[in-house]
Structure 1
Amino acid sequence: MQTRTLGKHGPRVSALGLGCMGMSDFYGDRDDAESIATIQHALDRGVTLLDTADMYGPHINEELVGKAIKGHREQAFIATKFGIMRDPANPTARGVNGSPEYVRTSCDASLKRLGIDTIDLYYQHRVDPNVPIEDTVGAMAELVAAGKVRHLGLSEASAATLERASKVHPIAALQSEYSLWTRDPEQNGVLDTCRRLGISLVAYSPLGRGFLTGAIRSPEDFDADDYRRSSPRFQGENFTRNLTLVDKVKALAADKGCSPAQLALAWVLAQGKDVLAIPGTKKRSRLDENLGALDVVLSADELAAIEAIFPPDAAVGARYAAASMTHING
């Protein structure tokens, strides 16, 4: 397993982690037995970075991860998140809360669900515009001092917010969507700021929510409760145009002798030693395919060919519905 340093002086973790969200939420049917087996198989393969959040489920994904790592705690580097609130009466509604009291109560609840004494990496899932980031990170820093958290992170934060947060406590990681079809961190100054401050970029959805695998050929491929049915990039003409780009990536992958997913993940990892990726899956077979990306080395010419097909802004459609985009780059 290739490893990379998390943050300026942080621990070494697997370059490819495992995103656990889809095991419990958003992507259709659950299979807890296979999901637990997938997490344990990941640990056996040398994957250490496991990513979850209290809002996935909500709550049940942390419980699932907790069951999977029982007896394997020393092998796992657990990252979880707080800050997005869901309304049980309206599954699509979202709120954010970054108040110090909410930080403390959320951490205690996550520790209990995960069945652990310390969270390795604790993220603010979305920045609360009504609470100064200094107050939120100050409360997170208190968790480090109390031994409940080892390292701090932010998710989908702006460059300016990263600057302010880092003055309160070192930030080890910034989690952001980053892939061939989402190049925002390159364009909004976030990646440059991370590098200047010594913050690792943890790329979520590095396979474009599964689209870059080439396996999705129609919106009808999704289960009825799969949220991608309502995602702008998977709608109508947007879907058709984006599929054309993916087919070109499939051709490059075929020439390279790897799968499209492996090519897409290899591209993310090639963007710098300070970039990690957490592709999500709930199947052991897909996990093994994804880990094959570690053996794919892209030359400068191959990277240029990929860039020619998938330059920034090549994908069409917003990456979230309008309501969710209000909390991006906070």
Structure 2
Amino acid sequence: MVKIVGNEVGPLGYGLMRLTWSVTPASKTQSLGAMKTALDKGCSFWNGGTFYGTPEYNSLHLLNEYFTQYPSDADKVVLSIKGGMNAATRQPDGSREGVRQSIDESLRVLDGKKKLDIFECARVDSKVPVEVTIRAAAEYIKEGKLGGIALSECSADTIRRAAKVHPIACVEVEYSLWATEIEENGVAQACKENNIPIVAYSPLGRGFLTGQIKTPNDIPEDDMRRHMPRFQPDVFDENLKLVHEITAIADKKGCKPSQMALAWIFKTSGRGGMPEIIPIPGARVEERVLENTTLVSLTDSEFDELNAVIKRIPVVGGRYPEAFSHMNFGDSPPEK
């Protein structure tokens, strides 16, 4: 169990993005069913966004509907919402005004059905010192309207500076068998130093590590993965080699590749120089939720085998297209 904003949450969280931000969003009935199953299976840390969808219907609207139908679940969920994005430009806005607008809108749409446990800016604003962003969010904590503050896709320096202004509830970054940058760029170390848990988004490599995507044609035409470097036809088969190796180890274990990928994160969590880690896979159907929540434990030898695989088979291609890569592990400008 990991403690976040004073609440203990299970080892596995739940990402809400694909429920409302998709070419073909899930139906409300399907979404609410998946959410209910996730909570019933112990996934009490939920992560959504003000921009996961449209201004008229995003994570917050779905959450309002969920807690209207299941009001007794409100106190069982630790809710983290990402915002701090300019709706018109889709660029980070960590200004005091931008932060206040995001938090106010979140509170408005939730309409008292669920408290806002954690707020985080989705990306670091390269024009606004992180100290300004954190102080703006901290005003809501003092007013009793917000439980805690998180960071997302930020550098180690940004984490350390933010933690000096206010305790940081968690740091959200991409982390999986094919995205281990935080082990080398100081982010994991900065979190460990400040006793900050990591929330690992895309722990299944945006579905690639499940073994279900076997060719580029398995990705829907309008899916954003079509534009991501690691899914391009010229490198697809190279990256598939990693999946084949993971699948072989999973087959010997008698589990799914997805379960193996999550088990590797559980085994890494709190180990050596790593902080506690909570993976937040997204799942739009109850069947997938049940698969992800069937937790598997790795032996030391299996863990070592997986680590050897990811060292032997490097991933080809960046996590995001070049046009967006400048926001990866973003740095904050100094405060004058």
The TM-score range, normalised by the shorter chain, is over 0.9
1:28: Cα distance to partner?
A: 4.1
How far 1:11 sits from its partner (Å)? 2.1
Structure 2 equivalent of residue 139 of structure 1: 136
- Any conservation in 1 of the 2:154–2:329 contact (CA below 8 Å)? yes
Whether the 8 Å contact between 1:151 and 1:172 is mirrored in structure 2 is: yes
SS at match of 1:276: strand
Separation in 1, partners of 2:305, 2:24: 34
* Aligned equivalent of 2:334: none
**Would the alpha carbon gap of residues 205 and 232 (structure 1) be closer, same or farther in structure 2, given more than 3 Å must change?**
same
The alignment status of 1:44 with 2:40, answered yes or no, reads yes
Matched AA of 2:290:
D
SS of match in other structure, 2:42: coil
For residue 139 of structure 1, report the CA deviation from its aligned partner.
0.5
1:29-108 correspondence runs (5 A) = 29-59=25-55, 60-70=58-68, 71=71, 72-87=73-88, 94-108=90-104
Deviation at 1:61, TM superposition (A): 2.0
Alignment counterpart, residue 240 of structure 2, candidates 240, 243, 251: 243
Contact 1:40 1:69 in 2 (8 A): no
- Which residue number corresponds to residue 265 of structure 1? 262
Secondary structure of 1:325 counterpart: helix
1:115 counterpart letter in structure 2? D
- Runs of 4+ aligned residues of structure 1 deviating over 3 Å after TM superposition are 26-29
Q: Answer whether contact 1:122 1:149 (CA < 8 A) is retained.
A: yes
Measured in 1, the distance between the counterparts of 2:324 and 2:313 equals 19
Aligned equivalents of 1:242, 1:28: Cα separation in 2: 27
Counterpart of 2:219 in structure 1 is 222
Kindly indicate whether the alpha-carbon contact (under 8 Å) linking 1:183 and 1:312 is maintained by their aligned counterparts in 2. no
Alignment of 1:1-330 (within 5 A): 3-6=1-4, 10-26=6-22, 28-59=24-55, 60-70=58-68, 71=71, 72-87=73-88, 94-116=90-112, 118-273=115-270, 274-292=276-294, 294=295, 296-311=296-311, 314-330=314-330
Across the two proteins, how many residue pairs are aligned to each other? 319
Cα RMSD after superposing both structures: 1.6
Moved more, 96-105 or 67-76: 67-76
2: CA distance between counterparts of 1:115 and 1:208?
34
CA distance in 2, matches of 1:165, 1:245: 36
Deviations 1:228-248 (A, max 9, x none): 111111001211111111011
Which stretches in structure 2 are left out of the alignment for 5+ residues? 271-275, 331-336
Percent identity of paired positions between Structure 1 and Structure 2: 38
Q: CA deviation at 1:33?
A: 1.6
Cα displacement (A) at 1:29:
4.1
Aligned-partner Cα distance in 2 for 1:159–1:27:
34
Output the amino acid matched with 2:159: L
**Local SS of the residue matching 2:297:** coil
Counterpart secondary structure, 1:250: helix
CA distance in 2, matches of 1:33, 1:219: 30
**Alpha-carbon distance, 1:157 to partner:** 0.8
TM-score for the superposition, normalised by structure 1: 0.93
Q: Which amino acid aligns with 1:326?
A: H
For 2:64, give the aligned amino acid: G
Q: Which amino acid aligns with 2:78?
A: F
Distance in structure 2 (CA, Å) of the matches to 1:65 and 1:15: 22
TM-score (norm 2): 0.91
Residue 284 of structure 2 aligns with an amino acid whose one-letter code is K
Deviations 1:262-284 (A, max 9, x none): 00001011112411110001110
The CA deviation string for residues 191-242 of structure 1, in whole angstroms up to 9 with x for no partner, is: 0110001110110000000000000111211222211111111001211111
